Structure 1
């Protein structure tokens, strides 16, 4: 791949353009908002000038509802040898293109499983996709050259290619992305009119659950409008679980001992199923989840504190597998939780204590 055209310079499009430009690909940028394309160009993502002729690959980074229109226009103008889109829904756009009678040999639907709560070119980064799955949905009609161009794009972005059927992909993202986003928003909505005294008690648990609820509602309306059926099916199942859980909690309020016992059993079953599902979430580098030990360190809210901790861990020969920060409400302090291999926990604890860090059990 020597040349590419990115149509849509939001977070995903600009991030892909930055990654391609860094690998020596000449990238042209286009957007319905010329100012946004100019912003992406100023960030080093390419040029907002039109290419002289057909490029090797056109990357359509438009909302799901607009993908078919943008692709049909680009294919009609012959702007590239190959065409892909990066929308989060795959079945619908392809069926729309088929209904228009387009030859889809030069097209493959893709979806990089990566993003941020922020949108737009200013949120973009060349390493956004690094180590993340990038779904490709070829069919028997897909030209081998186009598939190879898509794989080259994934490689340049340092992502991990995953080949799936388009409709299977849509059901999968409904489960692991679209439905969780709505549930997160529903939990966060409980806080909108909550008493201030209650909100001040928010800890890391509620922050984890509601983090993705901060995303742009307009973007998510587009996504959910393109995949409503699978998401609705999953929420129906969640609603049934909620009804069972409410009944179990009400039973725990009963004066009848048998009902309380039944309620406790119901709650225990919900928690057990949650444990069973959570352990299936892939761990580091997509591997099976591993059990780490946590070393908790109290830090001041001062510049350089995290860098010092990681440097001290490195001097002790300990690799930090994951990290979480729990901020103390109303205080200039926080708790850094360093996840390490169990055999390394004692070594790290001793090393950090020796260097003056306050360890919390």
Structure 2
């Protein structure tokens, strides 16, 4: 069923709400913003995400209202905006769905016009200043219709996701919560457990920190109170995953202390399962990762335009960069760009870049 979103309301101007608003503004959608914190609202407006909501001047209801509020607040906010008739269709962005659906049902919200949603994009930073219009580009956007959601409401939220550059993926609320426990919530807690070990590390040890520990602990920089609420609303699925992770770690610790051949096999087994699991994570265009990409390390100076010049040189050589990782050690004037390319392009690209003066290591 065709629909066209021309006017939207975003309630909650943190990272997610402001990013959605910025993406919609890039598609010429008129966006009205609301937030209980006037300073947060003002900043989002100043960033160009929309204008402050004035219910008295809005006229007809908006095509869609997006509730970008914490899980525990979605129900009450939804009931309020529905009672005020602010939009024809409503959705939310909370990263748990089952408890939110129960909450909205208990509060007597209109489930026909409501489609629970969860855009799968985020950053460890928070607030409107961290928002980006491309935050959801190429990401999945989970839709969890309750069974009472009418088809026009679902079609509208599908269009919302696509306007933001995301790919809608429909599933039920319980399936969603089990999935995000595996791919988001439990990994965040595990990353925090690793990062917590750094508290007792001495300065000498931390000075040796490289990209590996930064990769593993990056998400641990997120807002602890926000994440406590998220995992609390998805407690059982997250606990199940963490218990499995803890069992693996306990078995590995025992194997390392044993120091025998059986223990070595246990350690190797976990490392091999880990690599296999990593390779199953969808990469480019949703396909499973292809471990056959060739890697070309290129030393880049710590200068504002160095990465842009490198990408331009690769593009001029007619080679597509399949993936990239930047390794940089604090205090050093250079970094290393790890370029992932098709194997058949590696030798020629290395020669082209070397001829242009780049420090290439094969």
CA drift at 1:329? 4.4
Rate the CA distance shift 1:311–1:102 in 2: closer, same or farther, 3 A: closer
Q: C-alpha distance in 2, partners of 1:212/1:159?
A: 21
Q: C-alpha distance in 1, partners of 2:316/2:61?
A: 53
Give SS of 2:94's match. Answer: coil
Q: Does 1:223 align with 2:230?
A: yes
Unaligned runs of 5+ in 2: none
1:281 is aligned to 281
Which runs of structure 2 are paired with 1:1-361 in the superposition (5 Å)? 1-50=5-54, 51-252=58-259, 260-290=260-290, 291-361=292-362
1:123-149 alpha-carbon deviations (Å, 9 max, x no partner): 111111111000001132111111111
Q: C-alpha distance in 2, partners of 1:29/1:331?
A: 43
1:228-253 alpha-carbon deviations (Å, 9 max, x no partner): 1111111111111111111110111x
Cα pair 2:177 2:234 within 8 Å, conserved: yes
CA drift at 1:303? 2.4
Cα pair 1:112 1:133 within 8 Å, conserved: yes
Q: C-alpha distance in 2, partners of 1:128/1:190?
A: 30
TM-score, normalised to structure 1, is 0.95
CA drift at 1:262? 0.8
CA drift at 1:105? 0.7
Give SS of 1:105's match. Answer: coil
Cα pair 1:12 1:124 within 8 Å, conserved: yes
Q: C-alpha distance in 1, partners of 2:264/2:37?
A: 56
Give SS of 2:95's match. Answer: coil
Give SS of 2:280's match. Answer: coil
Give SS of 2:142's match. Answer: strand
1:255 is aligned to none
TM-score, normalised to structure 2, is 0.95
Give SS of 2:141's match. Answer: strand
Q: C-alpha distance in 2, partners of 1:49/1:84?
A: 17
Give SS of 1:158's match. Answer: coil
Cα pair 2:75 2:109 within 8 Å, conserved: no
Q: C-alpha distance in 1, partners of 2:356/2:154?
A: 53
Cα pair 1:295 1:345 within 8 Å, conserved: yes
Q: C-alpha distance in 2, partners of 1:218/1:12?
A: 16
Q: C-alpha distance in 1, partners of 2:111/2:198?
A: 47
Give SS of 1:317's match. Answer: coil
Q: How large is the Cα RMSD of the aligned pairs?
A: 1.2
1:257 is aligned to none
Q: C-alpha distance in 1, partners of 2:17/2:304?
A: 33
Cα pair 2:75 2:107 within 8 Å, conserved: no
Q: C-alpha distance in 1, partners of 2:84/2:303?
A: 55
Q: C-alpha distance in 2, partners of 1:307/1:2?
A: 36
Length, aligned pairs only: 354
Give SS of 1:264's match. Answer: helix
CA drift at 1:24? 2.0
